[in-house]
Amino acid sequence: MVEIAATAIDAATLSTREVNALMRARLESGSTEICVENPNARHNLAVALLRPGRVRFLGSVGYYCGGLMDGAEIHVEGSAGWGLAESMSQGHVVVHGGAGNGAAAAIRGGTVVIHGDAAARLGVSMKGGLVLVAGDCGYMAGFMGQKGTLVVCGNTGQAFADSMYATTCYVGGSIGALGTDAVIEPLSAEEAATLDGLLAEHLPAELRAQKPAGRDFKKVVAGRKLWNFDKHNWKAWQDAL
């Protein structure tokens, strides 16, 4: 497939609808690398990208960048707003800066990598996939996480991994406070090795070097006390509902 020489799309002169339409058209005609200049933290950029290909934003993006994605790749050189890659089924999203609330909300697959910090509700309701934050994360990360893997190399905020189903979380720094029904479990040697592999694969070398080794991560999963109503667990339910 011929890589169509990518002149960058200048978002400054185009509406969001036009930027997205141009992006999709290029992806459809086989372009594998698209640059967008001056995204200027606008919302809804690269929503519903359904074809393989890489989009690079030379700046910050606003809300829902990469939302509803199936199979593309997005790199954001600045920061991202709320709902980064929300509901993504497959694909790869990397943010060099930080991400706002609800990053990787409800993703069903794919990977979301944040080099900076993530704000509140990272990976909320996630249904699969991998979320990896090199920095810290904020309040209620992993809330109601159903499946998939959440890795935070730095510190977490309060209510970490609150009310989860079957998402597995790993924390390299300190845990601000565990959420309702979140428990720490021992980390196996295999998991430590897997973590080392993930960090090596997804983070640039200098960044990875600043982060803990796989074996120093803590593993957090659901205690399962909220999975079924049970009067003997009244204390847990009082906080949960």
Partner 1 sequence: MDTRSILAGLRRMCGILGYFRKTPGSDDQLGATMLSMLEALGRRGPDSAGVALVGPVHRASYIVRIQAGDELDLSQQAIAENREAIETFARGLDNSSNVSSSGVYVRFLLAGDIDLPALTSRIESLGEGIRVLSVGHAMELSKEVGSPRLLEGKHHISAFAGTHGIGHTRLCTESIVDLSHSQPFWGRGAADVAIVHNGHITNYHQLRRKYEQRGVGFVTENDSEVLAVYLAEALNRGATLRQGLDGVLRDMDGAFSCLAVTATEMGFVKDPYAFKPLVVAETDDFVAVATEEIAIRSAIPGDYKVSEAQVEEVRVWSR
Partner 2 sequence: MDDTAVDSTRPLLQSSGTYTAEVMRGIHTKAETGIYEIRGYGTLRQRRWATFDDLTFLPCGLTRIPLEGYREKCSTKTVLGGRFAKRPLELEIPIMITGMSWGALSYNAKAALAKAAAKVGTSNTTGDGGLSPAEREFAKDYVYEVLPSRYGIDVHDLRGASAIELTIGQGAKPGTGGLLLGSKISETIAHQRDLPVGVDQRSPARHPDMLGPDDMVIKIEELREATDGQVPIFVKLGASRTFDDVKLAAKAGADVVVVDGMEGGTGASPAILQEHTGIPTLAAVCEARAALEDCGLYGEVQLIIAGGIRDGVDAAKAMALGADAVYIGTAALISLNCNKPLYVEDYKALGTEPYHCHHCHTGRCPVGITTQDPELMKRLDIEQGAERALNLLRAMTLEIQMLARACGKSDVHHLEPEDMAALTMEASIICGVPLAGTRKVFGR
Q: Which of 175, 178, 218, 174 is closest to 195 using CA atoms?
A: 218
- Closer residue to partner 2, CB minimum distance, 73 or 86: 86
DSSP class of residue 16 equals: H
Residues 64-93 that bind partner 2 (CB under 8 A): 64, 67-70, 82-83, 86-87, 89
Considering the rule CB under 8 A, would residue 124 count as an interface residue with partner 2? yes
Q: Which stretch binds partner 1 (CB under 8 A): 105-113, 117-125, 193-201, 202-210?
A: 117-125
Q: Which stretch binds partner 2 (CB under 8 A): 153-161, 168-176, 195-203, 233-241?
A: 233-241
Instruction: Decide if 110 contacts 91 (C-beta within 8 A).
Output: yes
**Residue 43, burial from CB neighbour count under 10 angstroms (0-12, 13-18, 19+):** middle
SS3 237: helix
Among partner 2, partner 1, none, residue 120 binds (CB under 5-8 Å by kind)? partner 1
Q: Is the dihedral of CA 36, 37, 38, 41 positive or negative?
A: positive
Considering the rule CB under 8 A, would residue 50 count as an interface residue with partner 2? yes
End-to-end CA distance of the chain: 54
Q: Which of 129, 53, 18, 35 is closest to 84 using CA atoms?
A: 129
Geometric angle at alpha carbon 60, from 59 and 64, rounded to 5°: 135
Considering the rule CB under 8 A, would residue 157 count as an interface residue with partner 1? yes
Considering the rule CB under 8 A, would residue 158 count as an interface residue with partner 1? yes
- Closer residue to partner 1, CB minimum distance, 101 or 168: 101
**Whose structure tokens read 């036009």?**
18
Tell me the β-bridge partners of 55.
34, 74
Considering the rule CB under 8 A, would residue 98 count as an interface residue with partner 1? yes
- Closer residue to partner 1, CB minimum distance, 103 or 195: 103
Q: How far apart are CA 15 and CA 2, in angstroms?
A: 28
Binding site for partner 2 (CB under 8 A): 16-17, 20, 43-44, 47-48, 50, 62-64, 67-70, 82-83, 86-87, 89, 101-102, 105-106, 108, 121, 124-125, 127-128, 143-144, 146-147, 165-166, 226-229, 231-232, 234, 237, 241
Binding site for partner 1 (CB under 8 A): 40-43, 59-60, 62, 78-79, 81-82, 97-101, 116-117, 119-121, 138-140, 157-158
